[in-house]
Amino acid sequence: MSFSQDVKAEILRRKVTRPCCCTAAAYAVACFGKYFDDRGIVLQTETEGVATFAQKMYARCGISGQILRKERTAGSVVYEFSVKDPDEVRKMLTLFGHTGRETALRIKPGCFKCQQCVSHFVATAFLCCGTATDPEKGYNIEFLSTRYQLSQQLEAILAEHEFHPHRALRKGANTVYIKAGDHIEDLLTFMGAGNAAMRIMEQRMYNEMRNKTNRLSNCETANLGKSVQAAVQVQMAIRTLEDAGALETLPEPLRTTAKLRMQYPDLPLARLAEKFDPPVSKAGLSHRFKRIQQAAQRLSGAPASEGKEQHA
């Protein structure tokens, strides 16, 4: 499933409890579907669940509509939800406060009765005409509409809730879109798609970390892996000596070095060197590590030139 489909599936799992919110959702189907006039409404969608959801919302408003499954020439399937029966259309127009003969469709604010109404309206608008880009590829969420006034008003609603939307005409479609990751996250949460919001958040955190790593100089990045590896090897050597009870036989500077390394296992060499009293140089500390490793090697029977390492 695409990210868009995940978002839609999550919205569809959300419960619409209040009757006013049902009306708001049904209203969004009318506004962001294919047709809405005095002959009724038509919503076309590739997601069967969206058509079923629309039918359910209308049914709860006391309006019955049909779902048709249509095969396209390319082999894909489109589900069409429609309200066409004149009696049902009349009920619907009365409910929404429209004549169906408006030259330009405008959202009636009277259709929003409670705090949740707007959230269900926007979420349903997304079900009908929205797409969201996979966060791994980029941040974008958009609503497409053939109606200029409607997209302008949707932009205003989104702006009012501080989602920072933009609007553009793309290939003849009025597009309301949001580009910033944090605002997309907020909008997804607002629409009831908390898991999708979490995915955006995780991606943003990942990108931030990667950017931070990229900002380190190449030299530092290249050394990062090596220095971690070296630190682990030293710690293994210290453990070997410790297990054999040989740590205490080492000269005092090496014992201190081993103790401090185990106390601060993650500290980079330069920072660890500062922990010594008096501080030692990075090169000096590196040399001590080498001697600890050689001592561990001697224990495990590997040949080493003993004479030299005995002196601090």
Q: Cβ 30 to Zn ion, closest distance in Å?
A: 16
Going across the sheet that includes 66-71, the strands are 35-37, 40-45, 77-83, 66-71
Report how far apart, in Å, the C-alpha atoms of 268 and of each of 68, 110, 195, 224, 288 are.
66, 63, 37, 9, 15
Closer to Zn ion by CB, 77 or 114: give it: 114
Closer to Zn ion by CB, 21 or 125: give it: 21
Only segment of 33-41, 117-125, 264-272, 296-304 that touches Zn ion (CB under 5 A): 117-125
Question: Is 123 a binder of Zn ion (CB under 5 A)?
Answer: no
CA-to-CA distance for 92 and 76, rounded, in angstroms?
A: 31
Q: Cβ 27 to Zn ion, closest distance in Å?
A: 11
Q: Cβ 25 to Zn ion, closest distance in Å?
A: 9
Closer to Zn ion by CB, 29 or 272: give it: 29
DSSP 84-114: --HHHHHHHHHHHT--S--SS----GGG--S
Only segment of 110-118, 200-208, 228-236, 246-254 that touches Zn ion (CB under 5 A): 110-118
Q: Cβ 38 to Zn ion, closest distance in Å?
A: 26
Report how far apart, in Å, the C-alpha atoms of 245 and of each of 80, 226, 236, 295, 309 are.
79, 29, 14, 12, 19
Q: Which of 93, 105, 117, 123 binds Zn ion (CB under 5 A)?
A: 117
Closer to Zn ion by CB, 56 or 282: give it: 56
Q: Are 295 and 250 in contact (CB under 8 A)?
A: yes
3-state secondary structure of 136: coil
Q: Cβ 122 to Zn ion, closest distance in Å?
A: 12
Contacts (CB under 5 A) with Zn ion, residues 10-69 = 18, 20-21
3-state secondary structure of 77: strand
Q: How many residues bind Zn ion (CB under 5 A)?
A: 6
Q: Cβ 19 to Zn ion, closest distance in Å?
A: 8
* CA nearest neighbour of 188 among 8, 31, 1: 8
Q: Counting beta carbons within 10 angstroms of the beta carbon of residue 94, is it exposed (0 to 12), middle (13 to 18) or buried (19 or more)?
A: exposed
Q: Pairing mode, if any, of strands 166-170 and 66-71?
A: unpaired
Q: Cβ 56 to Zn ion, closest distance in Å?
A: 16
Closer to Zn ion by CB, 116 or 294: give it: 116
Residues in CB range of 210: below 8 A, 6 or more apart? none
Q: Which of 59, 114, 236, 244 binds Zn ion (CB under 5 A)?
A: 114
Kind plus residue range of the DSSP H or E element containing 154: helix 148-160
Closer to Zn ion by CB, 21 or 280: give it: 21
Closer to Zn ion by CB, 20 or 78: give it: 20
Closer to Zn ion by CB, 114 or 168: give it: 114
Q: Cβ 118 to Zn ion, closest distance in Å?
A: 8
Footprint of Zn ion (CB under 5 A) = 18, 20-21, 114, 116-117
